[in-house]
Amino acid sequence: MGSGISWSKADDGSTSVRLAGRLTIDDVATLADDLAAQAPQAPGLVIDMHDVTAIDTAGAWAVNCLLVRWHDAGHEARVVGASPAVGRMVDALCTPPPPAPMRPDPGNPITARLARIGAGVLVQMDNVGAFLAFLGQTLLVLGATAVGRRRLRWHGVVHQAEAIGVNALGIVALLLFLVGVVVAQQGAVQLRQFGAEVFTVNLIGRATIRELGILLTAIMVAGRSGSAFAAQIGSMKLNQEVDALRTIGLDPIEVLVVPRVIACSLMLVGLAFYGSLWALVGGGLYAWFDLAMPPATYVARLQEVILMSDFVVGMIKAPVFGFIIALMGCFHGLQVTGNAESVGQRTTQAVVEAIFVVIVFDAFFAVFFSALGFN
């Protein structure tokens, strides 16, 4: 059954159009032309849709065009007799869309830039305040754990130690081995200009044990384990597992943060020492093949040039760096809110800030120990 249309005059002089049948895209091709042929007349138009059996957006569009033409001519036009389904379709198409939001006037670009800088500073100040509060809570729980007032979850510590230390042995060894080769090669090239290739061992030994071995291992752990801490705890925060811990009377700092902080601090000491040894091996291989220095001579020279103070300084820095990395990862994990995008943002922030703070502390340690005479 197709569509039907009939025009008539009502008792009050208004024009009446009666629509019948199906008003779908297959049936309104001629209907639209018939509706458009009638010129708007006073006092108005009544569209009778009692007999309309089906309608889609094409039919509703045709009816809407008729209503708009009469309204634009200053005459009243209305729909009567439509079933609920037909009426909803007509109303939906006749309702004007909401106004599109307009881009606000940016105003003075200098003022806008200053406003963005000020907003960024306020956000960072809030971030620093939240981090200091988190640091205080963590230190209190660590202190209570040290004196036996809080339970140390050894299973969590061992699990995290395996993830941070044991599973990272391969990548740390490869990275530091290549760094040792690069340091030896660059040092030999530069010292060869002065006929002092023998001092390449001094460069490899002291730079690796005191600075590069610990610093590069910390950066590797920050990218590998710090990001994992933020992502794991952030996902738990989104899944309301952190809230569930609080509900059953467990402190998230004690359960989630303390095991990671202890494991990361301890494992970074071992990883730093392990990585430094591999850097020395890489430098030794280069010295053997390029400088024709036998391994026995290389080891003897290392024993002469590496001071106990260099080893002590490196081992002092390692647990501090581990503490910083774990703290940054756990803090940003607990700051996750909203959706999964926040997990990615906080994970990136945790890695970037951990590496930045590690380098700042490395510079501080360099100046501090130099002032104490550990040169």
Is residue 105 a part of any domain in this protein? no
In the DSSP assignment, the letter for residue 74 is T
- Indicate which CATH number applies to the domain containing 58: 3.30.750.24
Residue 46 bridge partners (DSSP): 16, 78
Residues 14, 67, single domain; the answer is yes
Is residue 113 a part of any domain in this protein? no
Handedness of CA 162, 168, 172, 174 (dihedral sign): positive
pTM across the whole model:
0.70
Residues 211, 261, single domain; the answer is yes
Is residue 103 a part of any domain in this protein? no
Residues 248, 348, single domain; the answer is yes
> Per the structure, how many domains does the chain have?
2
Give the model's pLDDT for residue 94: 67
- Read off the pLDDT of residues 142-157 as tens digits, 9 standing for 90 and up: 999 888 888 888 898 9
Supply the range of the domain harboring residue 313. Answer: 123-371
Residues 220, 312, single domain; the answer is yes
Is residue 188 a part of any domain in this protein? yes
Residues 183, 329, single domain; the answer is yes
Residues 355, 213, single domain; the answer is yes
- Read off the pLDDT of residues 177-206 as tens digits, 9 standing for 90 and up: 999 999 888 888 888 888 787 788 888 888
Kindly give the residue spans of alpha helices, DSSP state H, lying in 147-226: 154-164, 169-192, 200-207, 213-221
CA angle 138, 144, 150 (to 5 degrees): 100
Residues 339, 280, single domain; the answer is yes
Give the model's pLDDT for residue 1: 46
Q: Which residues of the chain have pLDDT under 70?
A: 1-3, 11-13, 27, 29-40, 42, 93-100, 104, 106, 375
Residues 86, 32, single domain; the answer is yes
Q: What amino acid occupies position 166? A: V
Q: Quick one: which H or E segment has residue 47?
A: strand 44-55
Residues 286, 355, single domain; the answer is yes
